[in-house]
Structure 1
Amino acid sequence: MGWSTLGPCPLAWQWLAVAQHELLLFAAIWFAVFAIDELLVDLVWFRLRLTGNVRTRRLCAPALGELRGMVAVLVPAWQEHGVIGAMVRHSFRSWPQRNLRIYVGCYRNDEATLAALIAAGGDHRLRVVLHDRDGPTTKADCLNRLYLAICEDERRCGQRVRAMVLHDAEDMVHPSALALMDDALERADFVQLPVRPEPEVQSRWIGGHYSDEFAEAHARDMVVRDWIGAALPAAGVGCAFSRAAIDRILANRASAAPFAADCLTEDYECGLLVNETGGRSIFLRMRDENGALIATREYFPGTLAASVRQKARWIHGIAFQGWDRLGWSARPTDLWMRLRDRRGPLVAMVLAVAYLLIVLWPVLLVLEALGLIAALPPGDFLQGLLVFNIISLIWRLAMRAFFSGREYGWSEGVRALLRFPIGNVISIIATRRAISAYIRVLAGGRLRWEHTVHRVHVAQVCAGGAEPAAALLRTSG
């Protein structure tokens, strides 16, 4: 519609109607693109379900067998005195295998974490590695210091580590996880177990939205990704690399350290590099003899500030650094998955436009009622997009509620519907922060490890490793 057909409405106000129409068209087109992408993943997942290819296997008895070789668990820690002791004690209780070593890296200026590790000592399988630099550096830098300590132990003992497992200081491991990862490494170079964020009574809405996202991502997205043969990203916890995979990554980097110290998502990058260097990856989804998911359990940030910091780090590392450092792949499946991984900033921008339109809508209705603007008719194309997007949104919410309800109970499934916009708002704010950080680094600024400090470990509110009690973790940035 041209300006000449707008009638007597003042141009000073009419531009709002034009802007609303163009923004609506922009958002509708991109929402349709995202919806088609999600529907393609849904179709593959349903096909796998119908053919029985993604049934989650169930153990008949705990997997606690001895390991085939030495396995090193790497745990970087900065200001983790509130959780590291409980994590180490619980891990050793859960994993009695003799060939296990847990390497915890802490910094020389973090006396509290070092004291907590000393208090948790007593098991000869624990190795405390003191970084010779003040912290925090980056998580990758701390992991590289742990890798050097492993190499030093190998030279002294004459025994080469068979596999390296990544975990965080707040993780609560499953008793069968270590033996299952060790067994899977007989046929793969990288194994990723699901991550299970624990519901938080004191943070139902912010902390709880992680449960919704991971329930869907680790029951649908990663399953599909594994089945189509695309490279699997490492989640940084509950994942195991064979020594051969680490050696190939070292050769690829032409470096003495496997993790990129200038990368905020070194785990994600290493997972993709396994595939790029000729290795095979497996997403291992199983349930134990009691029906519980064999996964890494932990509490995620429960405050808005901490959640924004964490997600900004993910967006910065995966979307921006991933593009810079890893580029794109010529394989169709990998190209598809990398587009999905890196679409976060674009999704956030489209969501921001959509929420802006929601705010503008009542304003435009008032202006139209006052005769100050003339509404622009949407047209058949835009109307069709809006109908498609509404149907797609209802379907997406139903899928989100299904995955959350299946894993956490149907009351959480209902809450997932209400938490959906909260996750969107967090993503919008985090994207703005990630873009600012990326620009700052490009301009020569220092890369920051914006770490979330954890105060209470899951095991500290559990009875003998059972399901968590009502007391929940509180986090601060």
Structure 2
Amino acid sequence: MTYASFTLAEWLAVLQHELLLFAAIFFVIGAADELAVDIGWLWLRLTGRGKAQRCGTGNGADQALSGMAAVFIPAWQEAAVIGTTISHALSVWPQSKLRIYVGCYRNDVATIAAVIEAAGGDQRLRLVIHDVAGPSTKADCLNRLYAALSEDERRSGNNSHMVLLHDAEDMVDPAGLALLDRAIQQAELAQLPVLPMPQPRSRWIGSHYCEEFAEAHGKAMVLRDAMGTGLPSAGVGCAISRGALFLLAAERGENAPFAADCLTEDYELGLSIAEMGGRTRFVRARHADGQLVATRACFPHELRAAVRQKTRWVLGIAFQGWDRMGWNGSLAERWMRLRDRRGPFTALVLAAAYALLVLAGFASLLSLLGLGAPFEISPLLRALLVINFASFLWRAAFRFAFTAHEYGAMEGLRSILRIPVTNVIAIMAGRRALVSYLASLAGKMPAWDKTAHDAHPASPNPREALT
């Protein structure tokens, strides 16, 4: 029998078999990768190396800094949230050696006004207005802030000993500044966890970030820290030593340590410091009441905004990261970079799996109508499916455990129910990132495709403000 003589039902059977084999094999490979991380993390927990340190009874506000600390906050069209971020940070971080640099653009009058109002005359805040019209890129805005810091240091003769990165929508932790101040004395980069806020009015989109960060910053980053591989900066709650930034600026030229042509300059920053021989640390600690010391934020609550944000991550980390940083380092380092850059392929495998579901439903309908025979599963495929199902249960258990530990059992249960939503967002972001990357190869460089923010975790009832 030749392919030309196949009936529709026979063609469907062949397509189902190939899609199922493709998806099943690569799901098993992905499961093995995740299992290796799980085993490594469990070993750290059993040996006591994976536990979070405990803060004292105070919140860290009374701890003096060992040197000047500069906080960089790039802002473009952030009038709705930047004021709350600034006022909160200035109130919970009262240290006199703190300086907050907020970068705005000359054509964003609303954000400039919000910054001035929130400062309330506090001399620790420095408003820096970019000399170009916005938006450029986040890294370009950060480089403008770095230039302002360098000029202030030259005039005063007093250099900062670390620079913190934060976004306009962040709620900083009272203990975060003191923890990073201590950590940076023994490292060139230190990163605090990020804790997204659950959003009752966006249970399926905005809240799906909760489980992703809970597991990534509760397990994967802990393992990377223990293995000594480079830590990718999250771009918020991150401290870099002044010396490391100086070396990066000297290496890249024009007094610009941040890669202005990269959409995920924060990710590249951490790995670049590690490649230079700098030490990177992931600082995980809890308050006396058990609350995680972390940077809190409200993530996008609409599908389009979530897809846009994750498109930027996939494009910057997977495509640009591969082009710009390659596969340097030890075997463990290359393993971690492979995990970072698997987003596009994961999207492809997920798309194949969901296409298979649709195809199987159509084939079953034809079988019920007597137009084809039921699809026969070979012993090999049956074994792969059993392994994949067991892996799914294992992954769901881990997802529930990490999410429930930070947000409670109900949010842990929702994290499992949100798995299909998370997968669909990943598929859409992967496709959009590939299109953008191909466009960049043709000379069209992506701009700052930033997320619009309309809620802040430090505001009264921030989650209820979402519509």
Q: Identity across aligned pairs (percent)?
A: 54
State the Cα deviation string for residues 104-136 of structure 1 (Å, max 9, x = none): 000000000011111112100000000011111
Aligned residue number for residue 65 of structure 2: 67
The answer to whether the Cα contact below 8 Å between 2:198 and 2:463 also exists between their aligned partners in 1 is no
Per the alignment, do residues 271 and 362 of structure 1 end up closer, same or farther by CA in structure 2, a change over 3 Å counting? Answer: same
Distance in 2 (CA, whole Å) between partners of 1:19 and 1:149 is 60
The answer to whether the Cα contact below 8 Å between 1:166 and 1:236 also exists between their aligned partners in 2 is yes
Aligned residue number for residue 377 of structure 1: 376
- The CA deviation at 1:181 is 0.2
The answer to whether the Cα contact below 8 Å between 2:106 and 2:132 also exists between their aligned partners in 1 is yes
Distance in 2 (CA, whole Å) between partners of 1:54 and 1:330 is 24
Distance in 2 (CA, whole Å) between partners of 1:341 and 1:10 is 42
Q: Letter of the 1:134 partner, please give it.
A: A
Aligned residue number for residue 100 of structure 2: 102
1:118 aligns with 2:116: yes
- The CA deviation at 1:13 is 3.7
The answer to whether the Cα contact below 8 Å between 1:454 and 1:474 also exists between their aligned partners in 2 is no
Per the alignment, do residues 470 and 94 of structure 1 end up closer, same or farther by CA in structure 2, a change over 3 Å counting? Answer: closer
Q: Letter of the 2:312 partner, please give it.
A: R
Which of the residues 36, 42, 45 maps onto 1:40?
Answer: 36
Which of the residues 40, 51, 54 maps onto 1:58?
Answer: 54
Gaps of 5+ in 2: none
Q: Letter of the 2:361 partner, please give it.
A: P
**TM-score of the two chains, using structure 1 as the length reference:** 0.94
Q: Letter of the 1:418 partner, please give it.
A: L
Aligned residue number for residue 91 of structure 2: 93
- The CA deviation at 1:376 is 5.2
The answer to whether the Cα contact below 8 Å between 2:455 and 2:463 also exists between their aligned partners in 1 is no
Aligned residue number for residue 344 of structure 2: 345
1:17 aligns with 2:13: yes
Moved more, 238-247 or 311-320: 238-247
Aligned residue number for residue 203 of structure 1: 202
Gaps of 5+ in 1: 462-468
Aligned residue number for residue 357 of structure 2: 358
Q: Letter of the 2:103 partner, please give it.
A: G
State the Cα deviation string for residues 424-447 of structure 1 (Å, max 9, x = none): 100111111111111111111132
Aligned residue number for residue 402 of structure 1: 401
Count of equivalent residues:
464
Per the alignment, do residues 376 and 205 of structure 1 end up closer, same or farther by CA in structure 2, a change over 3 Å counting? Answer: closer
State the Cα deviation string for residues 234-292 of structure 1 (Å, max 9, x = none): 00000000012112222332442000111000000001111100000110000012221
Distance in 2 (CA, whole Å) between partners of 1:373 and 1:331 is 53
What is the correspondence of 1:116-195 to structure 2 with a 5 Å cutoff? 116-121=114-119, 122-195=121-194
- After superposing on structure 2, the runs of 4+ consecutive aligned residues of structure 1 that deviate more than 6 Å are none
Secondary structure of 1:120's counterpart equals: helix
Aligned residue number for residue 31 of structure 1: 27
Q: Letter of the 2:239 partner, please give it.
A: A
Q: Letter of the 2:263 partner, please give it.
A: L
The answer to whether the Cα contact below 8 Å between 1:140 and 1:263 also exists between their aligned partners in 2 is yes
The answer to whether the Cα contact below 8 Å between 1:191 and 1:281 also exists between their aligned partners in 2 is yes
Secondary structure of 2:170's counterpart equals: coil
Distance in 1 (CA, whole Å) between partners of 2:280 and 2:463 is 37
Distance in 2 (CA, whole Å) between partners of 1:180 and 1:472 is 31
**TM-score of the two chains, using structure 2 as the length reference:** 0.96
Per the alignment, do residues 92 and 345 of structure 1 end up closer, same or farther by CA in structure 2, a change over 3 Å counting? Answer: same
Distance in 1 (CA, whole Å) between partners of 2:6 and 2:232 is 54
Moved more, 193-202 or 431-440: 431-440
